[in-house]
Amino acid sequence: MNKQLRKAVIAGNWKMNNTPAEAAHLIEEIRPLVANASCDVVVCVPFIDLHAAAKAAQGTTIRIGAQNCHWAQNGAFTGEISAPMLRAAGVTHVIIGHSERRTYFGETNGTVNRRVRAALDEGLNVILCVGESSEQRRQGVTDELVAMQVKIALDGVTEAELQRVIIAYEPIWAIGTGKTATAQQANAVCAVIRGAVAALYGTDCANKITIQYGGSMNAQNAAELLSQPDIDGGLIGGASLKAPDFAAIVTAADKG
C-alpha cells in the first residue's frame, strides 16, 4: 500500500448470508473492533439486510454497500434493484461485476459498464471487480483479460468520476476455494490494473486509485498481501462474516 497516494479500503462481501437480525448483530460485533480504524471500512450486505445494516452502523464510520445494482432507474426488471433505491436505503458503495454475477447470472463486460454508469450517476461509490479463471491463467492471458475488463467497465467514466471507483482484483480460481494467489502474484496483476488505468487516464490518476485484492484474503494472510505496493485493501468474503477475523484484516490495513 501507498497511503500517501491513496486510501486503504477493507470491504466485506457477505454474499447470500445473514438475515436482517443477524446482520444487525454482526455489525454490532464489528463496531467496537474497528472504531479507531484509519482505513475505510465497508460491509456489502444482501438487499434484504440494507435497512437493518444501515441502522446498526449509524454513528460509526462503517459504510454500507450493496452487492449489485441495475442499470435502469426503474422499470419492468423483476428481481432487480436500482441505484436510486440503494441510495434511498443509505447505501454508499456497490459491488459491480463480481465473478459470481458473471459466472452464474450472465453478467458481461457490457452490462458491467452499464451498471457502473448507473451507480456513478446516482452518486454511489463503485467497487468494480475484475479477474481471471484458472484456465485463463493457465493460458497466459491474465494480463490482457484483466486490462480489457477494466477498460470496458470504465468506458465513458470521467476522470472526476474515477475518484469514486475502487477496483477489486479477484482471481476466480481463488474465490471460495481456500486458494490464494501469492502476494507477488496478486501484486503483479494489481500493477497491470493500475497500468490499464494509466493508459486511460494518465499516471497521476492511476497512482491515486485504490486497488483491492479479493481472493480469499483472511486474518492470516492479510498483512503479507497488504504489504505489497499495489494492493490497497481487500474485498473480503468468508472472513467478513466473523467479526474478529474481519477486524484483524482492518488492523493489518491500518498497520500496512
Domain boundaries, given as residue ranges, for the chain: 41-87+94-255
Kindly state the average pLDDT of the residues 15-37: 98
CATH topology classification for 41-87+94-255:
TIM Barrel (3.20.20)
Cell numbers representing residue 225 in the block? 498481501
Q: How many CA atoms lie within 13 Å of 145's alpha carbon, on the beta-carbon side?
A: 20
Nearest CA to 74 out of 32, 122, 113 is that of: 122
Q: Note whether 64 and 90 are within 8 A (CB).
A: yes
List the catalytic residue out of 100, 122, 132, 170: 170
Kindly state the average pLDDT of the residues 128-137: 93
Instruction: Identify the residue with better confidence: 4 or 22.
Output: 22
CA distance 24 to 167: 27
Is residue 25 annotated as a catalytic residue, yes or no? no
**pLDDT tens string 34-81:** 999 999 999 999 999 999 999 999 999 999 999 999 999 999 999 999
Q: How many CB atoms lie within 10 A of CB 16?
A: 8
Is residue 170 annotated as a catalytic residue, yes or no? yes
- Residue 186's pLDDT is 95
Q: Note whether 66 and 47 are within 8 A (CB).
A: yes
**pLDDT tens string 210-248:** 999 998 899 999 999 999 999 999 999 999 999 999 999
Question: Cell numbers 494480463 label which residue?
Answer: 143
CA distance 180 to 171: 9
Q: What is the DSSP letter of 36?
A: T
Q: How many CB atoms lie within 10 A of CB 204?
A: 10
List the catalytic residue out of 70, 93, 98, 132: 98
